[in-house]
Structure 1
Amino acid sequence: MHSKKIFVAIAGCMVLMATALPANAFSPFKVSSIKVEGLRQVSRDAVNQYLTIHTGETISPQDTNSMLEGIYDSGLFETVELMKDGSTVIVIVKERPVISEISIQGIKSKREVNEILRDTQVIQGYMYDPGKIEKALELIERHYLAKGNFNISISSSTKESKSGIDLTVSIYEGDEAKVKEISFTGNKAFSAKELKSSIIHGTTSFISWYTKTDRYAREKLLADVEALRSYYLDRGYVNVQVDSAQVSLSPDKKKIFINFKMTEGVQYFFGNMKLSGDMVTEKEKLQVLLNEYIKQGDVFSRKKISEVKVAMEKVLGAQGYSKAEVRLDFVPDEINRTVNIDFYIVSNVKVMVRNINFKGNNLTKDSVLRRNVAQQEATWISTDLLEFGREAIERHGYSKNVSVKTDDVLGYNDVVDVTYNVEEQKSTKFSAGIQYSSADKLILNLGAEMVNFMGTGKDIDFVFERSKSFSNYSFGFFNPDFYGDNVGMGYRLYYNKSELSKASNVFDYTSNNKGANVFWSLPLSRYNSLILSLAYDKTRLSFTNAPQPVEISNFVISEGELFKEWSATLQFKHNSQDKYIFPTKGTYQSLSLKYAVPWSDLKYYKLDYELSWNKPVYKNIVFNAGTTLGYANRYGNTKYYPFYKNYYTGGADSIRGFEDRSLGPKDSQGREAGGNLLINLRTSFSTPPPFSDQGSSIRLSAFVEAGQVYDTIVKTRTVNGVTTNRNPSGIRSSVGVALKWYTPLGIPLEFALAKPIIKRPGDQLRVPSFSFGMVFN
Structure 2
Amino acid sequence: MKIAKAAQYTRHFLKIQCIRTVLIASAAIGSVAGLSQAPAYAQSFPVSSIEIEGNQRIEDATILSFLNVQPGQNVGAAQLNDALQRLQRSGLFETVDIVPAGNRLVVTVKEFPTINRVNIEGNKRLKDEDLLPLLQSQSRRVYNPSTAEADAALLAEGYNQAGRVAATVTPRIIPRSNNRVDLVFEIAEGDVVEVERISFVGNRAYSDRRLRRVIGSKQAGLLRSIIQSDTFLADRIAFDRQLLRDFYLSRGYVDFQVLSSTPELTRNRDGYFVTFRVREGQQFTVGEVTTFSDLPEIDIDEFQAVARLKPGQTYSPARVENTITRMERLAIQKGFNFIRVEPRITRNEADISLDVEFAVIRGPRVFVERIDIEGNATTLDRVIRRQFNTVEGDPFNPREIRDAAERIRALNYFSNVDVNTREGSGPEQVVVDVDVDETTTGSLGFGVSFSADAGTSFNVNFLERNFLGRGQTLGLSFDTGSDSQDTNVRFVEPAFLGRDLALGLTAYYRTTDQEFSDYDTLRVGFEPSLTFPVSENGRLTLSYQISRDSIKNVESTVSPIIRRDESSAYTSAVGYTYSYDTRRSGLNPTSGVLLQFGQKIAGIGGGLRYVQTTGLLAAETRVAREEVNLRAELEFGANTRLEGNSRITERFFLGPSKLRGFEGAGIGPRDPNTDDALGGNFFAVARLEADFPLGLPEEYGIRGGAFFDVGSVWGLDDVNCSTATSPNCVVDDGFSLRSVVGVSLLWDTQLGPLRFNFSRALVSEDFDKEQSFDLTVSTRF
Q: Tell me the TM-score range normalised by the shorter chain.
A: 0.5 to 0.7
The corresponding residue for 2:394 is: 379
Paired residue secondary structure (2:69): coil
The corresponding residue for 1:666 is: 670
Out of 545, 559, 582, the residue aligned to residue 549 of structure 1 is: 559
The answer on 1:607 being equivalent to 2:613 is yes
Counterpart residue identity of residue 559, structure 2: P
Check conservation: 2:194, 2:230, Cα contact below 8 A: no
Q: Residues 485, 393 of structure 1: CA spacing in aligned structure 2 closer, same or farther, 3 A cutoff? A: same
Paired residue secondary structure (1:72): helix
Counterpart residue identity of residue 410, structure 1: G
Paired residue secondary structure (2:675): coil
In structure 1, how many angstroms separate the alpha carbons of the residues matched to 2:775 and 2:92?
Answer: 68
Instruction: List per-residue Cα deviations over 1:64-87 (Å, max 9, x = no partner).
Output: 333334433445434322245675
Check conservation: 1:465, 1:471, Cα contact below 8 A: yes
Check conservation: 2:747, 2:753, Cα contact below 8 A: yes
Instruction: List per-residue Cα deviations over 1:21-72 (Å, max 9, x = no partner).
Output: 9638998454454332211344545534532533453223553333334433
In structure 1, how many angstroms separate the alpha carbons of the residues matched to 2:397 and 2:712?
Answer: 48
Greater alpha carbon shift after TM alignment, 362-371 vs 659-668: 362-371
Matches within 5 A, 1:548-567: 549=559, 551-552=561-562, 556=564
Instruction: List per-residue Cα deviations over 1:147-176 (Å, max 9, x = no partner).
Output: 998977776655433322544545474784
Number of equivalences: 715
Out of 629, 632, 636, the residue aligned to residue 638 of structure 2 is: 632
Counterpart residue identity of residue 758, structure 2: I
Paired residue secondary structure (1:671): coil
Q: Residues 407, 709 of structure 1: CA spacing in aligned structure 2 closer, same or farther, 3 A cutoff? A: same
TM-score, normalised on structure 1?
A: 0.61
Shift of 1:241: 11
Instruction: List per-residue Cα deviations over 1:114-170 (Å, max 9, x = no partner).
Output: 999989x77766666667777888999999999998977776655433322544545
In structure 2, how many angstroms separate the alpha carbons of the residues matched to 1:227 and 1:463?
Answer: 38
The answer on 1:712 being equivalent to 2:728 is no
Counterpart residue identity of residue 666, structure 1: R
Shift of 1:763: 4.4
Out of 404, 426, 438, the residue aligned to residue 412 of structure 1 is: 426
In structure 1, how many angstroms separate the alpha carbons of the residues matched to 2:449 and 2:351?
Answer: 71
Instruction: List per-residue Cα deviations over 1:273-316 (Å, max 9, x = no partner).
Output: 99999967777899999995999xx9xxxx96966886687578
In structure 2, how many angstroms separate the alpha carbons of the residues matched to 1:658 and 1:240?
Answer: 50
Out of 14, 32, 36, the residue aligned to residue 52 of structure 2 is: 36
Check conservation: 1:429, 1:450, Cα contact below 8 A: yes
Counterpart residue identity of residue 352, structure 1: F
Q: Residues 17, 235 of structure 1: CA spacing in aligned structure 2 closer, same or farther, 3 A cutoff? A: farther
The answer on 1:161 being equivalent to 2:161 is no
Paired residue secondary structure (1:644): coil
Out of 718, 730, 734, the residue aligned to residue 739 of structure 2 is: 730
The corresponding residue for 1:755 is: 756
Instruction: List per-residue Cα deviations over 1:167-203 (Å, max 9, x = no partner).
Output: 454547478486679796xx7x969976995897999
Matches within 5 A, 1:687-698: none
In structure 2, how many angstroms separate the alpha carbons of the residues matched to 1:368 and 1:117?
Answer: 31
Q: Residues 384, 595 of structure 1: CA spacing in aligned structure 2 closer, same or farther, 3 A cutoff? A: farther
Paired residue secondary structure (2:425): coil
Shift of 1:599: 11
Instruction: List per-residue Cα deviations over 1:660-685 (Å, max 9, x = no partner).
Output: 65665433311222222345769999
The corresponding residue for 2:680 is: 675
In structure 2, how many angstroms separate the alpha carbons of the residues matched to 1:233 and 1:594?
Answer: 40
Instruction: List per-residue Cα deviations over 1:188-225 (Å, max 9, x = no partner).
Output: x9699769958979996747945866958598499779
Matches within 5 A, 1:55-454: 55-60=71-76, 63-84=79-100, 87-98=103-114, 100=116, 106=122, 108=124, 158-162=173-177, 163-164=180-181, 166-169=183-186, 171=188, 173=190, 176=193, 197=211, 206=221, 209=224, 210=227, 215=232, 220=237, 292=309, 349-355=364-370, 374-375=389-390, 377-381=392-396, 405=419, 407-408=421-422, 410-417=424-431
Instruction: List per-residue Cα deviations over 1:661-711 (Å, max 9, x = no partner).
Output: 5665433311222222345769999xxxxxxxxxxxxxx999999786611
In structure 2, how many angstroms separate the alpha carbons of the residues matched to 1:182 and 1:457?
Answer: 42
In structure 2, how many angstroms separate the alpha carbons of the residues matched to 1:239 and 1:477?
Answer: 45
Paired residue secondary structure (2:649): helix
Counterpart residue identity of residue 556, structure 2: A
Counterpart residue identity of residue 164, structure 1: V
In structure 2, how many angstroms separate the alpha carbons of the residues matched to 1:441 and 1:225?
Answer: 42
Paired residue secondary structure (1:758): strand
Q: Residues 610, 355 of structure 1: CA spacing in aligned structure 2 closer, same or farther, 3 A cutoff? A: farther
In structure 1, how many angstroms separate the alpha carbons of the residues matched to 2:276 and 2:444?
Answer: 55
Which structure 2 residue ranges, 5 or more long, are not aligned? 31-40, 586-590, 624-628, 692-701, 762-767
TM-score, normalised on structure 2?
A: 0.61
Paired residue secondary structure (1:54): coil
Paired residue secondary structure (1:71): helix
The answer on 1:10 being equivalent to 2:4 is no
In structure 2, how many angstroms separate the alpha carbons of the residues matched to 1:261 and 1:489?
Answer: 49
The corresponding residue for 2:694 is: none
The corresponding residue for 1:743 is: none
Counterpart residue identity of residue 161, structure 1: R
Paired residue secondary structure (2:67): coil
Paired residue secondary structure (2:7): helix
Paired residue secondary structure (2:364): coil
Check conservation: 1:150, 1:253, Cα contact below 8 A: no
Q: Residues 682, 73 of structure 1: CA spacing in aligned structure 2 closer, same or farther, 3 A cutoff? A: farther
Counterpart residue identity of residue 88, structure 2: Y
Which structure 1 residue ranges, 5 or more long, are not aligned? 580-584, 618-622, 686-699, 741-749
Paired residue secondary structure (1:93): strand
Check conservation: 2:339, 2:360, Cα contact below 8 A: no
Shift of 1:486: 6.6
The corresponding residue for 1:648 is: 653
Check conservation: 1:391, 1:578, Cα contact below 8 A: no
Check conservation: 1:394, 1:578, Cα contact below 8 A: no
In structure 2, how many angstroms separate the alpha carbons of the residues matched to 1:401 and 1:85?
Answer: 61
The answer on 1:504 being equivalent to 2:504 is no
In structure 2, how many angstroms separate the alpha carbons of the residues matched to 1:286 and 1:55?
Answer: 82
